[in-house]
């Protein structure tokens, strides 16, 4: 399944019964050609460990780099 952009949504057509049919020309509907599958779940984070890490390093949570944050995802 892919995420529809506003351009792709506008390119879809409704039948007389209100049923949306397939997009006729995908290249025209989404010129970038990029389709994004929705993420099944948001990342889970071990907050207690992250908080302890910040205390040990004497830094604020908001000062963590993306790499430092990723080590607490599970």
Residue 2 sits in the same domain as residue 33: yes
Has residue 63 got a pLDDT over 60?
Answer: yes
How high is the pLDDT of residue 13? Answer: 53
Residue 26 sits in the same domain as residue 48: no
How high is the pLDDT of residue 1? Answer: 47
Residue 3 sits in the same domain as residue 34: yes
Q: Tens digit of pLDDT for each residue in 8-49?
A: 555 455 555 555 455 556 666 777 777 677 778 888 999 999
Has residue 56 got a pLDDT over 60?
Answer: yes
Helical spans, DSSP H, in the chain: 6-11, 26-29, 47-57, 66-70
Residue 26 sits in the same domain as residue 53: no
User: How many helices and strands in the chain, by DSSP H and E?
Assistant: 4, 0
Domain of 73 in residue numbering reads as: 43-74
Quickly count: other Cβ atoms within 10 Å of residue 53's Cβ: 17
Residue 3 sits in the same domain as residue 33: yes
Q: How many domains does the chain have?
A: 2
Residue 20 sits in the same domain as residue 50: no
Residue 62 sits in the same domain as residue 30: no
């Amino acid at each position: 399944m892919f995420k529809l952009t506003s351009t792709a949504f506008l390119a879809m057509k409704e039948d007389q019964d209100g049923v949306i049919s397939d997009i006729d020309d995908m290249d025209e509907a989404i010129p970038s050609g990029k389709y994004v599958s929705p993420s099944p779940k948001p990342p889970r984070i071990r907050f207690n460990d992250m908080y302890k890490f910040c205390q040990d390093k004497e830094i604020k949570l908001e000062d963590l780099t993306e790499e430092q944050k990723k080590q607490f995802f599970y």
